Amino acid sequence: MTCGTSVGTFSDAWSHETPTEPPEPNSSKDLYAAIGSSVELTCRDGTSEGLEWRQNGSILVSSPVLHLQNTSLKDEGIYTCYSANGDPVKTVHLKLGYAPSPPEVKCWAPSYPLNALCSWTQSPDPILPTHYITTYWHVDDQQAPSVRSCQRLREQDRQCVLEDEELFSLIPYLVNITAVNSLGSATTILPVLPDRIVKPDPPVNVKATALPGNKVHVQWSPPPTWPDPENFSLKYNVHFYWGTANLASTMGPYEMDSMVWSGLVAGRTYRIRVSAMDAMGYGQSSEWSDPVTITLTKS
C-alpha cells in the first residue's frame, strides 16, 4: 500500500521583462523547464532594437523575446542573446525534464531480523538531477515519533536500509521517500510491518548428484545475507523441470539443506533450483536460485 502526494512546482520560465527596464549585465543562468511546456526567454540592454537570440552561432529570432513551444529534449542547450553591436547580453542554459512523480516504493527484508531494504522507481523518470529525502519512524500514539534516516550508500542510489527494527510488532513503521528537483517535489509514505516483508535472498551453492536407482541428491546452502539461520531458520522448496515449462514438479518444504528425489527417468536432463522462506511462514519466498543441470545416464 502506498499513498503519494505531489507538492510545490516551480515556474516553467522567467517572467517577461520590459525593454524599459535598466540594462542587465552579461550573465549566465540555468533554466529548468518541464518537457512539453512553453518557455519564454527575454533579455534587455536598455533598448529592444537590434537584440537577437542565437543557439550554436545560428540566429533563432531577431527580438528580445524567444518563444519555445511544446519543448522536447532536442530544445535543451545554451541560448545567448546578443545586442545590436554583437556583445552577449545574457546566456541561458535550458535544461528539460519532469517534476517528480510520487515514488513507487517497495520494501523487503533479506537479512531479517537485522535490517530491511526499500527501493523505489519513478515514472516518468524526472531526467533532471533529483534529490531524495529518505526517513522512517515507528508509529506510536504514546510518544512523539523518532524520525530516523533510511541510509543510502551513495547519493544517487534509489535504495536505502532500515535498521534496528522492532520484532513481532503490530505497529507499522512509516517509510517516507520524497523526491525533490528544480521543478517540484513528491512524496510517498509506505506503512511497513517488518514480519510481513521478510523475503530471503535465494539459496546458494546448489549441487545435484546422481545416485543409483535413478535418484538425485540435491544440496544447498542458506543465502549468506541471512544472518542467523540457527535461531531464525529457513525452509526450502526444490523445483525440478525438464523439457517445456509444463513438465515440472516442486518438492518441499524441507527444513534441512538437502533432499533426495527418486523415480526419475534415465537419459533425461533435469534442471533444478531452490527457493527459501522463513520457517515460521513470515513474508514470502525468495526468488529461485540459479538452476543447476544434471543428466541421468542410461545403464
Q: Under DSSP, is residue 75 helix (H, G, I), strand (E, B) or coil? A: helix
Say which CATH topology domain 8-97 has: Immunoglobulin-like (2.60.40)
**Cα Rg for the chain, rounded, in angstroms?**
30
Same fold, 8-97 and 104-196: yes
Distance of alpha carbon 37 from alpha carbon 33, whole angstroms: 7
Distance of alpha carbon 45 from alpha carbon 80, whole angstroms: 13
Please give the pLDDT value at position 164.
81
**Residues in the chain, pLDDT under 70:** 1-26, 45-47, 141-143, 245, 299
Mean pLDDT, the chain, rounded, equals 88
Please give the pLDDT value at position 141.
54
Q: Under DSSP, is residue 74 helix (H, G, I), strand (E, B) or coil? A: helix
Please give the pLDDT value at position 46.
67
Distance of alpha carbon 208 from alpha carbon 260, whole angstroms: 10
Listed in sequence order, the residues at least 6 apart from 121 whose beta carbon sits closer than 8 Å to its beta carbon are 103, 104, 158
Distance of alpha carbon 93 from alpha carbon 73, whole angstroms: 13
Query: What are the boundaries of each domain within the chain?
Result: 8-97, 104-196, 204-295
Distances (CA, A) of 134 to 54, 65, 117, 164, 269: 42, 41, 12, 16, 48
Q: Under DSSP, is residue 162 helix (H, G, I), strand (E, B) or coil? A: strand
Please give the pLDDT value at position 206.
97
Q: Which amino acid is at 190?
A: L
- Strands 27-34 and 88-97, sheet pairing: parallel
| pLDDT, tens digit (0-9, with 9 covering 90-100), for 113-139 | 999 999 999 999 999 999 999 999 988
**Superfamily for the 104-196 domain:** Immunoglobulins (2.60.40.10)
Distance of alpha carbon 144 from alpha carbon 261, whole angstroms: 55
HSE-up (13 A, CA, CB side) for residue 102: 14
Please give the pLDDT value at position 140.
73
Contact 88, 80 (CB under 8 A): yes
Question: In this structure, which long-range contacts are made by residues 12-15, counting pairs with CB atoms below 8 Å and at least 24 apart in sequence?
Answer: 12/37, 12/38, 12/39, 13/37, 13/38, 13/39, 13/40, 13/41, 14/40, 14/41, 14/42
- CATH number for the domain formed by residue range(s) 204-295: 2.60.40.10
Distance of alpha carbon 290 from alpha carbon 202, whole angstroms: 8
List the one residue out of 41, 46, 43, 42 whose CA is nearest residue 22: 46
Sequence-ordered alpha helix ranges (H) in 94-192: none
Please give the pLDDT value at position 262.
92
Contact 81, 43 (CB under 8 A): yes
Please give the pLDDT value at position 182.
96
Please give the pLDDT value at position 166.
79
Burial of 18 (0-12, 13-18, 19+ CB in 10 A): exposed
List the one residue out of 202, 186, 77, 180 whose CA is nearest residue 129: 180
- Residue bearing cell 532594437: 49
